[in-house]
Structure formats: structure tokens, C-alpha cells
Amino acid sequence: MTYPLHLDVSGRRVLVAGGGPVAARRARDLVSAGAEVLVVAPALCEDLRDLVPHLTWEQREVAPRDVADVWLVHTATGDPRVDAELAAAAEALRVWCVRADDARASSAWTPSVVRRGEVTVSVTAGGDPRRARGLREALSRWLDSGAAPLRRRRAGAGRVTLVGGGPGDVDLLTLRGRRRLAEADVVVVDRLAPTAVLAELDPDVVVVDVGKTPDHHPVPQDEINRIIVEHARAGRRVVRLKGGDSYVLGRGGEEVLACRAAGVEVEVVPGVTSAFSVPAAAGIPVTHRGLSRSVTVVSGHEDVDAEVLARLDGTVVFLMGVTMLPRLSAGLVAAGKSPTTPVAIVENGWSADQRTTRGTLADIAGIAAGRGVRAPAVIVVGAVAGLEGLADVASAAQVAYGPDL
């Protein structure tokens, strides 16, 4: 039976004997851990050469004397006799030695490792490296799933993470975003975020709902900034969970600047933006060979420059534009855009209530009013909105489709 132990090698001298791929893997990990790495070998493989600016290389055969004055030895020379000599020298000096050629003759072993932020999990499997790798991969999936208990239980510095939650389906959260939610003490959430994920969090996680609806912002942006900064300053880990992507019409930049002004650590985890993913759910690619080579994303609830948009040859995607649809469509036509330009409106993308309404700039406002189109919805203007034949394969992950027009 062995005694598991993690070593702090930062600033400590470590010998890596050998210049091949195994030595390169050991040296890379040691450099990442802050060790002062000495590599002794007549030649280096390409991966080790790339590390030379970060370590010391002595171009010669390794000798037992090299073990003196180091904290740890890794042997990977490819010659069992040389590795055994180095191990014996290390044993005499009471220095731990990891032998790449013979684990049974080692005094120390390198485990399979999973790292996720501050969490490190090490795995050994009785000298069976394949079994250890299999366990490592299983642990990686568990940690990434959000099911692992990653919340910190001791007091520490607070931080804020902006997580783009995607278009609403929990399955479209990124792995990093899901992991940050598993670490959170506080979640400040928007209405269009994938709120179903909140049921999977620890029951004592504080959830602050700052959801906005069209023309109704119960919690102003300055107050949201204050909330996330205040919780982080109290030593809590805060996730600001939004729909789509925080940096695509999500005011994420303002929240980052507020955190930095307050001296709070902040991280941004990108999300799947609804500007592209919601049209995709309805079978509409925002670019398509022969139809559109560019896409412009516009906030639809603010004044837009219709003359500039009308001159664009590509696709225009409006977010938050349902209430302004009559004005938007009329403005584009008045600015010279063809009235027959296809338009598609996708409501509640990636949900069982998804519905697509199609028309042209000339008639889409009337059709949408007749069908009772409501937010949240994404409006696509351009030739791709009239593309046929992709809707039946676009949303295999959805529970159901709404009726399309």
C-alpha cells in the first residue's frame, strides 16, 4: 500500500533524465507546477525543445552525480541500467525517484490526474496505467457534468463568473459553464437563462432573480452590478447566468468593468448565442453558400440605421425586436430593401413551444400580429430565411416542434 501525497515543487530543483516523449510529459507538468527543471540528455525530442526556454538543458549523458542537490528525480532515459543507477543514487540521498521503465522499482509514482480549476484528483490503479486512465476519464466526465460537489466549503476570496447559458435548453450549456454553476454560492439569473439547471444545485445556493421582460426591468443594470460585486466582496462565488452569450447584446462588458473597478476577480464563460442557435433550431443557417456570406446582429428594441442595414448583402438578425417589428420592416423597405426579402421569426427557440413564422418584409408584420408572435423571438432577414429543406434535421435535440408557417 502506498501513501498518497501532493507535492509543492514550485521553486524546487527537479531532475528529468532523458530527452524523449515520456521525459517531455514529465517536464511539461513540472514546469506548469513551477519547478526548477533540469533536463540531462544528449538530445531532445521536439516537445522538449519547445520547453527549453522554461527549463535548463545539459546536453550530455546523465550520471548518478546529477541526483545531488535535487528534490525529486524522474528517470526516462530508455536504458534500464542507467535508470537503476540513478534510482540507487537517489535512494542513498533519500530523494524520491520516479522510474518510467519499472514502476515496481520506483520509490514514487506519477498518478493519472484530473484538474478542474482548484480541484485536483489523482488516480492510481495498482500499477495498471490503462485502468488508471479509464478512471481518470470517468472522473473527468463526472466533474464536467455538474453533478460533482464542487462548492468550496472553507472561506476564501470571492469571484464573479459570467456564464452564457445558451438559448434556453440546459443541454446547450458549456461544460465550463455547468462546472462554474456547481461551484457557485450565489447565482444571479436572467429570465431567458436555462433556469431548469437551478433545480440541480445545492439547496442552500442563493438564487437572485433579476429577470427582465420587454419594457419592464425590475432590477436596473446598476443594481445588478451592485449585487454581484457585494456578494463577491463577501467571499462568495457568484455566477451571473444569462441567456445566450454575455457579450452578445447581454451587457456583460458592463458587469466585467464593474467588477474590475471594485477589485473583484471576474471570469467570462462564453455561451451559445441565440442569434445563431435559434435560427439553426428552425433550419435556418445564418450564412449559406450562394445566399449569404455575412451576418449582422442588431438589437431590435433600439433605433437602428435602416439605410445602412438595407445596403447589406448578407443576413441581418434582430434580437429583442418583436415589438418593433412593424417599424423595422417598414424602415428597411423605405430605405431600399426589396419588399420580397424573406423574413423568419423563431419564437422560444430550443423549447417544446418553438414556433417559426415566415413572410417577407412587405407582409411579416401583419402575419406576426395575426399569429400573436411574442418575445422571446429571433428575427432573421435575408435570403437564408426562405431556404427550404433543413428544418426537419435542424433540431434533433428538441422535445417537439411548434407549428411552422
Q: Which of the following is catalytic: 66, 190, 245, 337?
A: 190
Active-site residue flag, 190: yes
Cα–Cα distance, 170 to 166 (Å, whole number): 8
Q: Which three cell numbers stand for residue 163?
A: 456564464
Give the angle 328-333-334 at the CA atoms, nearest 5°: 95
Q: Which residue(s) pair with 240 in the sheet?
A: 162, 188
The amino acid at residue 157 is A
**How many alpha carbons lie under 13 Å from residue 278 in its C-beta half-sphere?**
33
Catalytic residue among 47, 144, 212, 404: 212
Which H or E run contains 139? helix 129-145
E strands present in 117-205: 119-123, 159-164, 186-189
d(CA 267, CA 68): 43
Residue 6: Cβ-neighbour burial (10 angstroms; 0-12, 13-18, 19+) = exposed
212 is known as an active-site residue? yes
Exposed, middle or buried: residue 110 (CB in 10 Å: 0-12, 13-18, 19+)? middle
- Residue 382: left (phi > 0), alpha (psi -120 to 50), or beta? left
Radius of gyration of the chain (CA): 29
The set of catalytic residues is 190, 212
